Chain A
Amino acid sequence: MLTAPVPADNQRPPAAASKRMLVWRRFTRHRLAVAGLAITALLAFVSLFGEFFAPYSAEYYRADYAYAPPQRVRLLDGGWNPHAYGYTSTADPETFEVVWDVDTSVKIPLGFFVRGESYELLGLVESDIHFFGPRDPDAAAPVYLLGADRNGHDLLSRIIVGTRVSMSIGLVAVALAFLLGVVVGSVSGAIGGWVDSLLQRIGEGVLSLPTLPLWLGLSAALPPTWDPLKRYVAISAILAMTAWTTLARAVRSRFLSLREEDFVRAAYVDGARLPRIVFRHMLPSFSSHLIAALTLSVPATVLAETSLSFLGLGLQPPVVSLGVLLHDAENIRVVTSAPWLLLPGVVLVAAVLALNVVGDGLRDAVDPYQAGRP
């Protein structure tokens, strides 16, 4: 009598797909999101190993090549021999406009995996191999595929490095905001009462401030003597200060709806204390939603950093970010004569769009109300 009969259907195999598998399956059904993920991954990969992929370092410059337009790569020269030609620059005597002419006498052979400036990959591996570049590291003329800025830096190399800075500051700021948001949201949702009211009013207060003036004020208050790393962390913290509120609200609302679930009541009856209920029982059941919300807030933060730096109040040269690069293009005269300086903006738009569609796709994939739609 002690042992009840084992139900017959107990022997059937358990449902095969885990929740993660199901989310991934739904995500891959979203074509645009998959494309976005591919673009994001490509950008992340290239910029992470930026020193390798960039033909020059961000600091390399040739003053005589300031505002040099993008150079064309020619692949054939009586056979497979990729090369570019150098430039001669002459100033128009009347307008003082610099005119660039292709100088076919200076031929710069190009190649893959060539030796160039030495660098430390991820601060670990020392190397001087670049993905591509002039075969002769001491070539007479540089090869600037996307042109040069006003100091004669290679724009391509700087975009690669700048993308890394911009995307990483987005991630760091969102990580900070996430930490703050989850803690505040959990406390608010799990404890409730006047603590909840107080935290929510603070969040609403922050939300009601216009963000741009707030950022401007805070970053203007940063001591100009700080070194780039300190400044980098400080800017991330400033961006996180406004981003946490929306996350905290999302976390809190999830908590409020979960609190009424029977399994949370059961955990309470089972003697679990509050921290265990919050972190062991409740948070895991909406972690996927948090990840989706997080992915969606990364592009916003990337944009925020860019606008700050564009206004000259975010990161400062010599640090390179997409915003710092765009700072050069704030002048209409520059833009008309050297339109390639807007290219960092193109990369920015691509990155933000890609991150946005990934976030959208992820949100739809974890949304149970979308489940079951083929």
Chain B
Amino acid sequence: MTLDPSAERLEPKAESDVLLRIRDLRTHFASSDGVVRAVEGVDLDVRKGRTLCVVGESGCGKSATALSVLQLVAPAGRIVSGTVEWRPDTAAPFVDLASVAPRSDALRRVRGGEIGMIFQEPSASLSPMYTVGQQLVEAIRLHRPVDEGQARNVAIAKLQQVGIPDPQRRMESYPFEMSGGMCQRVMISIALSCNPALLIADEPTTSLDVTTQARILGLLERLRDESGMAMLFITHDLGVVAEIADDVVVMYLGTVAERGRVDDVFYDPKHPYTRALLRSIPGAVGAVGDRLPTIEGAVPHALHRPAGCPFVARCAHAIPGLCDTIAPPVATFADGHETACHLYDAAVGPAPGPPDHHVVGVAVAGPRSRRAPDAPPIMRVRDLATHFPVRHGFLNRTVGHVRAVDGVDLTIHAHQALGLVGESGCGKTTLGRSLAGMLEPTRGVIEYECADGSRVDIAQQNRRQLRRFRGEIRVIFQDPFSSLNPRMTVWQIVGEPLRNYRIASGSEVEDRVSAMLTKVGLRPDHMSRYPHAFSGGERQRINIARALITDPRLVVADEPVSALDVSVRAQILNLLADLKADLDLAYLLISHDMSVVEFLCDRVAVMYLGTLVEVGDTDALFRAPRHPYTELLLSAVPKPDPRASDRARRAKTVADDLPDPSNPPPGCRFHTRCAYVRDALCRTDAPLLRPTAERHASACHYAEELALGQDRLAAGGAGVEPVR
């Protein structure tokens, strides 16, 4: 271990290493409702060759802080006070970027030249009108005295550096011809084109798949090690922090709640907010019993900043009369570990000593009450396929089919939660919609067992006949913002199915809506409000209420928590688990997030390119996957445990993107990306989903022979072994 170059990075560096020094930064936004104090006195230091992660829920001022460095905040915003001192290397004097004129040459030299920046949405950050090459060459020539030809050579070298295959050809590609992961690589190459001393990355992997995210994180880490640059990394995902950070700053409502080295913050968190954040991650930490610990409520809007400690309203340790009146002082621990909390204030007396001191990796995932396996099936799917025609040209001729779902066999049992996982584009949403009767499948059988025991093939029903089942098979939508009609009140939205299916009328609707709102944790007297008066988590509760109001038997939930913040996500997952138990529901839970599925589901189906590659009980599948793709997915999930994150494992993840679903590869569909691909059999014969163990099926020719998931256990990443 002593030879590991990463080991020396863990040592604290002297002040002389600081490249970016932010002191008491305040960035305010003017709005029609008043001044929004997005950043309210932030101090942070970014050191040469190290990665500083700024972490917090949305609305905590992370991005505003990052944008303030280069004076890129939107026009309504303004740096009110504070300094942003910058030097490109340790020998140079500090320059205060906050006091440089925004349009000056000095700042322009820093932007893109000395400090590179990448953003969340890679395809939106690239201009669709120019090729990758043109955009790279422009970035290079803006800062370097080179001619067109030289710049092209540099550009190709940069593309090579960020791992883009065939860079010569890619220079001529337009951004829309590339996948999100490729676009992000191009963005990184542009940001790094002038060898900046600091890279600011604002949620660079949030919109990407887990597998792509793992590769991008690996790339960033490698580039940092090669070039010795510093990195300021903004994220809300603690798993990502554990992967990549050397130092961590936890932000809450525009202020720094805690700062320190990544190990100190993860293994010895001081601030109640940090602790709560770490505890509310499903799966990896191991929830205690059947519920995830949550943080009450949500981040308040920066307009309604409470007096005293900003976290006071949600803090379990709040001291009345102190925390809600006086801003907390900074308490300092070893190695620059600091927190702003009254609990460590000597004047307050001995710190109450929060109950569970060690949060990460200590709590053991107790055997969760998975449902008895013998529940009767509620839905049997046989050879289901849903194809979308690809139309082209003036006459809309069909030139091919996207085989979004291509031959799926699946059984959903009553009172069970079945998880459906896979990368984006694998067809899991299409499968969910087909099962819910929202899309007409191309072929196959969806045999639904009605409450009276009779069996109906959903796939053969016409629209009118389908209405009968719509009350029994319900859908929870992903996006809590777009799925609620902004022009209807909560009462109208939740009562809509009752009215349309003539389940209830008149005052009975009101009674049932009010009972359902109580059940999902909303106040019934809020039912005359419009959706915009609710926070994201509350809107998702409304969404759930609407799905459950008809007393369904099967609920298809398509990424129900992926648009929510960590703490709110835990609340909603608990709610879904409670409702399942109380109402005897069967779930089909579609998610790209393995930890969500692990927490909530009894069985898991893994989907790849329109087909299922593995089905099994959650525990068995997570412990011992029987398909290389499942292993890939599991290993790509960043674990919120800095020591367990084996930095080498990412080398195993393959570099290719998902193949074109309108022209899937022959043989095993996964063979183009499989690390274990062996012989002609994989490339020519499509493996069938076959039983490999009791209650477990896999579509791999070598399911029994491959030793999958072993290294995961060895690294302690499965969350079942205590680290300390």
A263: chain B residues at CB < 8 Å are 482-486
What's the Cα separation between A232 and B200 when bound, in Å?
67
B76 and A372 within 8 A (CB): yes
B519 and A262 within 8 A (CB): no
Identify which of A1, A3, A271 contacts B501 (C-beta below 8 A): A271
Identify which of A4, A14, A262 contacts B529 (C-beta below 8 A): A14
Complex interface residues of chain A between 246 and 293 (CB less than 8 A to chain B): 261-263, 265-273, 276, 281, 284-285
B297 and A7 within 8 A (CB): yes
Report if B180 contacts A (CB, 8 A).
Answer: no
Report if A79 contacts B (CB, 8 A).
Answer: no
A270: chain B residues at CB < 8 Å are 470, 496-497, 500, 546
Asked if A272 meets B496 with Cβ closer than 8 Å, knowing A262-B483, A263-B484, the reply is: yes
Complex interface residues of chain B between 333 and 375 (CB less than 8 A to chain A): none
Nearest residue, chain A, Cβ from B526: A10
A281: chain B residues at CB < 8 Å are 485, 488
Report if A6 contacts B (CB, 8 A).
Answer: yes
What's the Cα separation between A270 and B471 when bound, in Å?
8
Report if A333 contacts B (CB, 8 A).
Answer: no
Q: How many A-B residue pairs have CB under 8 A?
A: 109
Report if B479 contacts A (CB, 8 A).
Answer: yes
Most buried by B among A12, A265, A271: A271
- Binary contact readout B287-327 vs A (1 if CB under 8 angstroms, 0 otherwise): 00000000011101000100000000110000000000000
B235: chain A residues at CB < 8 Å are none
B518 and A5 within 8 A (CB): no
B521 and A262 within 8 A (CB): no
A10: chain B residues at CB < 8 Å are 522-523, 526, 538
B477 and A1 within 8 A (CB): no
Complex interface residues of chain B between 503 and 553 (CB less than 8 A to chain A): 518-523, 526, 529-530, 532-533, 535, 537-538, 546
Asked if A9 meets B535 with Cβ closer than 8 Å, knowing A266-B546, A269-B438, A269-B474, the reply is: yes
B484 and A15 within 8 A (CB): no
Most buried by A among B31, B297, B438, B575: B297
Identify which of A1, A6, A25, A262 contacts B581 (C-beta below 8 A): A1
A374 and B575 within 8 A (CB): no
What's the Cα separation between A202 and B209 when bound, in Å?
45
Report if A91 contacts B (CB, 8 A).
Answer: no
B496 and A5 within 8 A (CB): no
Report if B582 contacts A (CB, 8 A).
Answer: yes
What's the Cα separation between A284 and B546 when bound, in Å?
20
Report if B436 contacts A (CB, 8 A).
Answer: yes
Q: Smallest distance from the beta carbon of B21 to chain A beta carbons, Å?
A: 31
Nearest residue, chain A, Cβ from B314: A8
Most buried by B among A6, A269, A372, A373: A269
Identify which of B475, B518, B571, B574 contacts A3 (C-beta below 8 A): B518
B297: chain A residues at CB < 8 Å are 7-9
B487 and A284 within 8 A (CB): yes
What's the Cα separation between A47 and B59 when bound, in Å?
53
B300: chain A residues at CB < 8 Å are 9, 12
Asked if A285 meets B485 with Cβ closer than 8 Å, knowing A5-B521, A8-B314, A12-B304, the reply is: yes
A6 and B474 within 8 A (CB): no
- Binary contact readout A1-37 vs B (1 if CB under 8 angstroms, 0 otherwise): 1111111111010110001000001000000000000
Asked if A262 meets B482 with Cβ closer than 8 Å, knowing A5-B521, A374-B76, the reply is: yes
A4 and B30 within 8 A (CB): no
A7: chain B residues at CB < 8 Å are 296-298, 521, 535, 537-538, 571
Asked if A267 meets B526 with Cβ closer than 8 Å, knowing A2-B582, A262-B478, A372-B31, the reply is: no
Report if B578 contacts A (CB, 8 A).
Answer: yes
Report if B32 contacts A (CB, 8 A).
Answer: yes
B578 and A1 within 8 A (CB): yes
Nearest residue, chain B, Cβ from A264: B485
Identify which of B75, B76, B470, B529 contacts A269 (C-beta below 8 A): B470
Identify which of B438, B479, B484 contacts A268 (C-beta below 8 A): B438
A12: chain B residues at CB < 8 Å are 300, 304
A4 and B578 within 8 A (CB): yes
Most buried by B among A6, A261, A281: A6
B581: chain A residues at CB < 8 Å are 1
What's the Cα separation between A4 and B578 when bound, in Å?
8
What's the Cα separation between A262 and B523 when bound, in Å?
24
Asked if A266 meets B571 with Cβ closer than 8 Å, knowing A2-B582, A5-B521, A8-B313, the reply is: no
- Binary contact readout B488-504 vs A (1 if CB under 8 angstroms, 0 otherwise): 10000000110011000
B474: chain A residues at CB < 8 Å are 269
Complex interface residues of chain B between 461 and 480 (CB less than 8 A to chain A): 467, 470-471, 474-475, 477-479
A273: chain B residues at CB < 8 Å are 500
Most buried by B among A3, A19, A270: A270
A266: chain B residues at CB < 8 Å are 475, 477, 483-485, 546
Asked if A6 meets B521 with Cβ closer than 8 Å, knowing A15-B533, A265-B438, the reply is: yes
What's the Cα separation between A273 and B500 when bound, in Å?
8
B533 and A269 within 8 A (CB): no
Q: Smallest distance from the beta carbon of A15 to chain B beta carbons, Å?
A: 5
Interface residues of B (CB under 8 A from A): 30-32, 75-76, 296-298, 300, 304, 313-314, 436, 438, 467, 470-471, 474-475, 477-479, 482-488, 496-497, 500-501, 518-523, 526, 529-530, 532-533, 535, 537-538, 546, 571, 574-575, 578, 581-582
A-B contact pairs, 19 of them (CB 8 A): A2-B519, A4-B519, A7-B538, A9-B297, A10-B526, A14-B529, A15-B533, A25-B32, A263-B483, A266-B477, A266-B483, A269-B438, A270-B470, A271-B496, A272-B496, A276-B500, A281-B485, A281-B488, A374-B32
Given contacts A3-B521, A7-B296, A9-B300, 16 further A-B contacts (CB under 8 A): A1-B582, A4-B520, A5-B296, A7-B297, A7-B538, A9-B298, A9-B535, A262-B479, A263-B483, A265-B438, A266-B485, A270-B500, A271-B471, A271-B500, A272-B496, A273-B500
